[in-house]
Chain A
Amino acid sequence: MSGITISNLTKRFGSNTIVDDLELTIDEGEFVVLLGPSGCGKTTTLRCLAGLETPEGGTISFGDRTVFDAKTHTDVATHRRNIGMIFQSYALWPHMTVRDNIGYPLKVRRKKEALRSGAVDKAAAMVDTGHLLDRYPSQLSGGQQQRVAVARGLVAEPDLVLFDEPLSNLDARLRDQVRTQIHQLHQRLGFSAVFVTHDQSEAFALGDRLAIMKDGRLEQCDTPQRVFDEPGSDYVAAFIGMGNRLVLTRHHEGWQTANGDVLDLGSRSPERGGADEIIARLRPADLHLHRAVEDAPHGSTVLHATLVTTEFGGRHYDVLVDVAGERLTLQADTREHGAWLPTAEEGAPVVVSFNPTDVRTYAADPARSAERESVAV
């Protein structure tokens, strides 16, 4: 086996195209994270890989073995694809002990040798559930159940491991714990994996590569670092944490906000001759709050804003400000701003600054911005 190739994959439910001409390759041993908002078709893509759904078009190959091809009506049954799958709801069979659950993939694949040589115990030990082998799933906590499910998915050393939001039913602490475990297991065992999530921190932590989906298509597919540094589109930027959005129009050499501030975007300024309207994207952490323009660091770009709300967040305040009708969020250090911010009135004038290298700009899509406005009204 060397890698998985998905090409032209199309899946419809009725007249809705859920997966739309999807192209993706997964190298052997690579951990690909499918990231996207709810309903964009991540689960459906995964289920097509598993053979739990029959796509309408395209091909899927595991190495040089074609497991699905719409044209030749090739459709290898799920149980012959040599995969492992970990479900959001764990799906441990309640009538079997943990041992039987983990051993099941070996048993049904007749891997007697592995069963005899203690593969079940080894798999259980990998996820720290060795002491739970004789319990029934109902006697386990959610985190333990999910770890058992991971062991079950990996025990038979499948060609491809599929994870469908395995962590989303766990509380925050357990989520980190199981996530770390999955990461270590991947580094140790080197299986190929597709991991579905809509949580960007999970995606960054686990993925060798992130595939960001939108409406059944891949919007961007790159390493976490590249996706973080250079989101390929406004959509991706919004999705991976650049929640702040400003619509800017060209004004001589600079870019103007709706309330008249002219910004120098430096090297991030799109070239002349491009669009006259752009969208600027910024992370909340890259925005800084000041009481007056003079307080802003030299060389930074400055925006005039009004205060909307302030929420105490421990080390920092979560602050919502208004810049010409656009809401921006940012974080203000408690020590620095504790004296005035909590008592500042709504509507008080403030100043927001950022380093021009932190901004990412995208050509405005006129249709989309019109749509947004009509929704906002």
Chain B
Amino acid sequence: MAAVLAAPMSRIRSRGWGGRIGYLVLAAALIYMIVLPLYRLQSLAFADGARGYTSQYGRDDIGEVIWTTVQLAFFSLVIAMVLGTILAFATSRLPRKFAFLRIVPVLPIVLPAVANVVGWAFLLSPGPGYLNAAMRHLPWWNHLESGPIDIYTPTWIIILTGFGLTSFVYLFVSAGMASISAEHLEAAQTSGSSTIGVFFRVVLPLLRPSLIYGGGVALLLGLGQFTGPLLLGSNTGVKVLTTEMYRRVSESPSDFAAAAAAGSPLVVLGLVVVLGQKLLLGDQTRFVTHGGKAFKSAPVRSRWAVATIVVYGIVALVLPLIGLILVALTPYWSSSISWGLLTLDNFRTLFQTSDIMDSVVTSVVASSIAVLFCVPIGFMIANLLVRGRRYPVIRLVADLVSALPLGIPAVIFGVGFLLTYTEPPIILYGTRTVIVLVYIVLMIPFATRLQMTALLALGETYIEASATSGASSFTTNVRIILPLMRPAILSAVALMFILLTHEFAASLLVRSPTTQVMGTRLYDLWANGSYPLVAAMALLMTAVTGLGVALAMLIGGRNVLDNL
């Protein structure tokens, strides 16, 4: 910690080599952690005359896999962009009485992706899905034996994925909206535009930068989508590149070279997007935050806004939760609910199964340790990015490398870490350490960007005032910068804790049969068909996350989630 806090700042220099060396070590560590696993994957895929590539791309179904991947990414992106933008616009137009609904669009992130997927499976599975069963009571469907909806098809996988990405798009777009001044909107309204007119003629054009940025991130997330296709599509033969990677690694003998090759298009696209954003947005320090004259202050009452948000909340959160709760309370999953048989046995089983409890502990411990490391690492990188004008090369490297884990799917890091740490010199397979390491890597973009935004908002003057008062950069960091950044740091901690306790994709690859996290243990239950236990486990995961967030709110105040 001390080394971090002594991180030099360009204006308040510890004028010597200390800073340069510190930052060099940081950059080297980032490259080792983030780039090396990717490099090892590629060198393996190219070994033996690119055997990995020929084997993976020589398969009969490769065309279909790529086509499914692209379709999944594209259509889920469309769904997420439309829904996310509408939601952001709707939250900005909430009547004051309903202002509390603003939290609804971000609430679904408390529900883990695995829980969301299995929750919907319980509702829309063609046979015993509760919603399907209910729909079969409708006159025009009452002849059906199963269906009418089959959640295991690509269409529904796409729809669910789109829903899952909506919160992300919402976060980007609503941040963009905060920078549109209320005057723009009032000007449009006073010149006679309707709500729809304002939306299309004023809001959308002004939002274009955040839409492009958010869309880029959502596209990458869509391409790297793993949970939905794996849980829903495995039995019906729906394959995407990420599930192919998993399959190559988990079949025996595992074929890392082919897995690496399968992931390459995603790595390349991730690199292109990260570099492209760098080029398009340029130096991010130019974007110093806009004042708080926000969009939301427009005193318009729109009933449709309330309705939209309530409907979204029901679909994205309430329905899957109901599915989970119902199944979790039944002894076995069937289309008809026998209300008399509801029981808490599943939870009891859960708590009595020691390896399940171990997975909870592993999740919480690994997530907490990773977050603990990520905050100072992110603080250092943010410091370098904001104040490191004196180290242009190190700064550029740190900027690009720290953004990679957001651009490249978690599955690929999972495979890369598995490959790197099952071989000498460092063998960590089966330990919690490797889980912590991969978690740190996955969270570095979040730790960095959130703290960087806070640092930029802080400005230089408070720091300069401290230096001119005679404080060294260490003292300034401890007494001025950290206290002032506390809310932002707590927000980052809360978000990272949520994302990590939900983590599934990378964990599935680096786990071992004896070292599991909640998500992977849930997957095993799902693969075994123990559905009531899956439901109970999903609820347990949600509860653990909820507790973490509640703790963050207790320490950091209620608006911890507002800062996201």
Known pairs A89-B461, A93-B465; A79 contacts B470 (CB<8 A): yes
B96 interface hit (Cβ, 8 Å): no
A91 to B462, Cβ gap below 8 A? yes
Known pairs A52-B11, A77-B12, A105-B469; A91 contacts B484 (CB<8 A): no
A95 interface hit (Cβ, 8 Å): yes
Chain B 446-462 interface mask (CB, 8 Å, partner A; 1/0):
00000000000000011
Cα separation A51 to B12 with both chains bound (whole Å): 8
Known pairs A75-B15, A77-B15, A78-B12; A93 contacts B468 (CB<8 A): no
Q: B465's contact among A54, A77, A80, A91, by CB below 8 Å, is which?
A: A91
Closest residue on chain B to residue A83 by CB atoms: B468
B484: chain A residues at CB < 8 Å are 93-95
A108: chain B residues at CB < 8 Å are 466, 469-472, 475, 479
A53: chain B residues at CB < 8 Å are 11
Closest residue on chain B to residue A108 by CB atoms: B471
State the main secondary structure of chain B at its contact with A: helix
A359 interface hit (Cβ, 8 Å): no
Chain B 465-483 interface mask (CB, 8 Å, partner A; 1/0):
1111111110100011001
A52 to B467, Cβ gap below 8 A? yes
Nearest Cβ in chain A — how far from B141, in angstroms? Answer: 62
B residues contacting the other copy or chain, number (CB 8 A)? 22
B11: chain A residues at CB < 8 Å are 52-53
Cα separation A91 to B469 with both chains bound (whole Å): 12
Closest residue on chain A to residue B10 by CB atoms: A54
A79 to B467, Cβ gap below 8 A? yes
B465: chain A residues at CB < 8 Å are 85, 87, 91-93
B12: chain A residues at CB < 8 Å are 52, 77-79
Cα separation A91 to B460 with both chains bound (whole Å): 10
Cα separation A156 to B467 with both chains bound (whole Å): 13
Query: Which of the listed residues B14, B466, B483 has the most CB atoms from chain A within 10 Å of its own CB?
Result: B466
A152 interface hit (Cβ, 8 Å): yes
Nearest Cβ in chain B — how far from A96, in angstroms? Answer: 8
A50 interface hit (Cβ, 8 Å): yes
B208 interface hit (Cβ, 8 Å): no
B464 interface hit (Cβ, 8 Å): yes
Nearest Cβ in chain A — how far from B274, in angstroms? Answer: 28
Cα separation A152 to B480 with both chains bound (whole Å): 15
Known pairs A77-B12, A79-B12; A93 contacts B471 (CB<8 A): no
Cα separation A52 to B9 with both chains bound (whole Å): 11
A54: chain B residues at CB < 8 Å are 13
B467: chain A residues at CB < 8 Å are 50-52, 77-79
A135 interface hit (Cβ, 8 Å): no
A105 to B470, Cβ gap below 8 A? yes
Nearest Cβ in chain A — how far from B6, in angstroms? Answer: 13
Cα separation A162 to B464 with both chains bound (whole Å): 12
A57 interface hit (Cβ, 8 Å): no
Known pairs A77-B12, A93-B480, A108-B475; A87 contacts B464 (CB<8 A): yes
Closest residue on chain B to residue A109 by CB atoms: B470
The 3 closest A-B pairs by CB, nearest first: A85-B468, A91-B465, A78-B467
- Could you give 29 example pairs across A and B, Cβ below 8 Å? A52-B12, A54-B13, A75-B13, A75-B15, A77-B12, A77-B13, A77-B467, A78-B464, A78-B467, A79-B467, A79-B468, A79-B470, A79-B475, A80-B470, A85-B464, A85-B465, A89-B461, A91-B461, A95-B484, A104-B466, A105-B470, A108-B466, A108-B470, A108-B471, A108-B472, A109-B470, A152-B469, A153-B468, A156-B469
Known: A50-B464, A91-B461. 14 other contacts (CB 8 A): A50-B467, A51-B467, A52-B11, A77-B12, A77-B14, A78-B467, A79-B470, A79-B471, A84-B469, A85-B468, A87-B461, A93-B462, A104-B469, A108-B466
**Hey, which bits of chain A sit against chain B, CB under 8 A?**
50-54, 75, 77-80, 82-85, 87, 89, 91-95, 104-105, 108-109, 152-153, 156, 162
